[in-house]
Amino acid sequence: MPVSFCSLMLPIKLMADKDSKHVWPAEECEKFHVMEKMKQIESKK
């Protein structure tokens, strides 16, 4: 788990652009339940 976090998630978190013009369409987020999964991840911290 720690290795996968450091090699995958850490670079994504560090280089993420909060003001990106490339966003996921709402229907894609709803189809894959992205918001619910993100809330679960945030609640585990």
* Domain residue ranges of the chain, discontinuous segments joined by +: 18-45
User: At a CB cut-off of 8 Å and minimum separation 6, what does 34 contact?
Assistant: 24, 28
Q: Could you tell me how many residues make up the chain?
A: 45
Looking at residue 1, its pLDDT comes to: 55
Residues 14-34 pLDDT 10s: 777 777 777 778 888 788 888
Amino acid in the structure at residue 44: K
Q: Do residues 29 and 35 touch, judged by C-beta distance below 8 A?
A: yes
Residue 40 clears pLDDT 60, i.e. is over it: yes
Residue 35 clears pLDDT 80, i.e. is over it: yes
Looking at residue 5, its pLDDT comes to: 64
Helix (H, G, I), strand (E, B) or coil at 1: coil
pTM of the predicted structure, to 2 decimals: 0.41
How distant is the alpha carbon of residue 21 from its chain centre? Answer: 16
